[in-house]
Structure 1
Amino acid sequence: MKTKSCVNNTKSIKSKRTKLVLGLLSAFFLLGLFISPAAAKTDWKISPSNPSVGDTLKVKGTASPEEKLIAEVSFVKDLPVTGGRYQYSLEKIKIPRGKDNLFTVTGEGVENLNLSVKKLIWIDLSSDASGGTATISQGHVPPLKYKIIISGDALSTPGKHSSVKLKVTASQTLKTNQKGKFNFNYPTSGLPAGKYTVKIGNSEKTIELKP
């Protein structure tokens, strides 16, 4: 009887030890989750601080090591409508370098959106609007200078002054180095003067490009 009792006690002690070890491992695992470092916040600066058309915007910043970030430069224009149509031209606009670059045009208050791009020949793209908004995007664009004409039919708004809001965005993918640092340049020759939104990762800033 004593032998059976000893065996049972031994099994009970081993069971308690096993549960204790598992409990400690779980606690350490959860503690590790709580104290593990969070992803670094994207922090960057742009120069020159008061840019003019023709300047090259130079951006330097930090984020998490070897992190992929989307860098966007965009501007918005309110276009007048004449005879039910709108049109806007961009001369020698530079598409940013990078195999993951993307050029996007969005029109609000439109029936349709047409995009004509010229380098050696004209390439025409078009999109019908849904709910008054139309978007055209083109990725993997060679990093050259292009002439771009944006046009289309405006949405009819009886009793109101008709206008179209146009948003143009150029983006590319960046990757930080092993220390979490990154940099990129964006030429502004060919861009219109005005306010621009620069967004990198989770950080967004507004700059004004002077004439």
Structure 2
Amino acid sequence: MVVTVDGAQAGVLGIADRLRPDAAEAARELRELTGAEPVLLTGDNERAAKEVAAQVGITDIRGGLLPPDKVAAVRESGQRTMVLGDGVNDAPALAAAHCGVAMGRAGADLTLQTADVVVVRDELAAVPKVVELSRRARRLVKQNLVIAGTFITVLVVWGLVGHLPLPLGVAGHEGSTIIVGLNGLRLLGETCLAEPLTRAVIVTA
């Protein structure tokens, strides 16, 4: 912005977005989790977008985008995509993604309502942790279904083709419940999306 006094140029002010301290680390971890390069979608001009992306380590940058452009960019790959954003202009892209993640503290109300996941702590570093925790939870749910299904199948077949003592049947059924519960407790030791993601998209106003 050019500042003038009585029509004469007095100075020039430059305004830039301040990078979150954990942005670079979060981008690196998301790259490792998805196995693909994160994408930066922004309504800012291309030059400003490149400066921010260079600090974060993102090479796929698309600037000067309107909300419909962001939606089109999310859908064009046809991959399972997680979109991370906090502005009102990001809401359509979050809705179009397989998983939309909003930053809780800075996020607009519409964005928070649209997102599938809200990061309450407003820390980018929490996003990769949430993805990893979700994947572990999904694996445990599958394991628990197999454990419970196996116990029930054995007990039912035993009861149909042979003589299953009632105490043994009760013990087998309740024992499977205990095993499933103990298996689920393994998640409590984690610090913090279920389906494998193939790319991450970071959108800004």
Tell me the TM-score normalised to structure 2 length.
0.23
Structure with greater helix percent = 2
Structure with greater Cα Rg: 1
Tell me the TM-score normalised to structure 1 length.
0.22
Structure with greater strand percent = 1
